[in-house]
Every structure is written in structure tokens, then in C-alpha cells.
Amino acid sequence: MVLVLLSNLRRMSLSMAFISITLFPPRVARSRMVKTTLGYGVPATEMGSLFLEQPTFGLTIFLFTIASMVLSMSFKVMLFGASDSYSADEKMQVTVSLNHFGKGLVERMPRCRFGFIHVVNNDYNHWFLYAIGGTSHPTIISQGNRYSAPGTFAAKEVTCRGLLKPAQWKNWNWVSQGDHFENGAFFTPSGSPSASKQFGADKMMPFKPGQMVPELTKYAGPLSCRIGRPC
């Protein structure tokens, strides 16, 4: 089993396909990022200058958390799950937390197939089509995020379930709790409102109200650290 956290990165074009995901303390994660590889031979940079640009598709990881990143200028940002036919991804567990989704992002923040996705205390400052999407009945728990919709009327909805009809996704567990919506943004829920309790809410990352997200994410991105000195 591979346990990985991506933390405090700034990236311009991140497109990833994951199998599954979990949580590492930031200090442990940063040390383990050194000399690891992403995708097909795309190296993580040395500690102190963690930038991730133009990685290739093909990254396969079992447990994963994406935290404290600044993301911008990308069409398809994150994809979790190999395909709509690969049901083994039911075991996937993903946490996306404390990230800043900035200018130039279009969709998939993330897009999910199967699995359990916890989206917590992120700052969604821009999207062109949608922010969070999915097919193949993933469970998506959105807690304490700030969603600021674009000016385009057709793109106010945070969520996207492709071209499926409501009868096909009405039982999927997509829940919004403590989120803050701006500029007409809205989240379309489905399934059980108490889905987070069904999946062990006591073991999930705790969240703060969405109004606090700007303060919570102000240190997202690369840290200004030097070897031998406190960050």
C-alpha cells in the first residue's frame, strides 16, 4: 500500500488519475516527497521548491491527500478513479483540503469515479464549467468550502454529474455541510444528508465554517523554507 500526501505545492497544470487516497502529517509528507516520482517518471522537486508542472497521466496511488496547494491555469485539474468500468476503485479514499483553486481553472476540482471523496476547507475562487463532478456513484462529502461562482449564469452550479438524469444519481451520497456560497454558487445534493456519519465522521478531518477559508488557506502553496532553519 502506498501512502502519500501532496502538500504546499504550486502548480500550473495538474492532471492525475488515482486509485485511492489518505492523510499524512505535513512534516512527514514533505520529507517523503523528496526523491519520489509522479506519473511516468515525473519527479517531485527538491524540498523547499515544491512546484508541480505538466505531469503526465498514469499516477496510481492507494491512499492520498492533497493539501495546501495553489492550483491555477489548468483545464482538467484532478481525476480520481481509473474508469467507469473499474469497480476496484470502490476502495478509494481521497481527502482534498486547504487548497486554493485560482484563476484559469475549468473543471474537475476534482472529478471522481467510485470511492469516497472528502472535500474540506478549500477555496474555490474560479471555475469555468463546474468545480466538483463525478460518475459511477462516488460518495462526495463537501464540508466548509468557499465556492465563489463565475459570472457566467450557466456555470453557477458547483456540481456536475455528466449527462445523467436525476433518476440515475438521486441515491448517490453527495453532501454539502458548512459550505459558503458566493456570487450565486450552489451545490446540488443527493442521497443521504447524514452520509458523513455512515462513513465514520469521527475519523474524518474536522472542518471549519466556509467563511473562514480565506484565513485557513492563506499559507497554501510552497513554503519559504531553508535547510536548517524553521519555516
Q: What is the pLDDT of residues 28-74, one digit of tens each?
A: 333 333 333 333 333 333 333 334 444 444 445 556 788 888 888 88
| Given 108, 111, 146, 161, the catalytic residue | 108
> 9 falls in which pLDDT band (50, 70, 90)?
low
pLDDT greater than 50 at residue 79 = yes
Q: Is 159 helix (H, G, I), strand (E, B) or coil?
A: strand
Question: Has residue 135 got a pLDDT over 50?
Answer: yes
Indicate left, alpha or beta for 32 from its phi (over 0: left) and psi (-120 to 50: alpha).
alpha
For 3-216, which CATH class?
mainly beta
Mean pLDDT of 133-137: 97
Spell out the domain ranges in the chain. 3-216
* Between 107 and 9, residue with greater pLDDT: 107
The mean pLDDT value of the chain amounts to 78
Is 108 catalytic? The answer is yes
Burial class, 192, CB count within 10 angstroms (exposed 0-12 / middle 13-18 / buried 19+):
middle
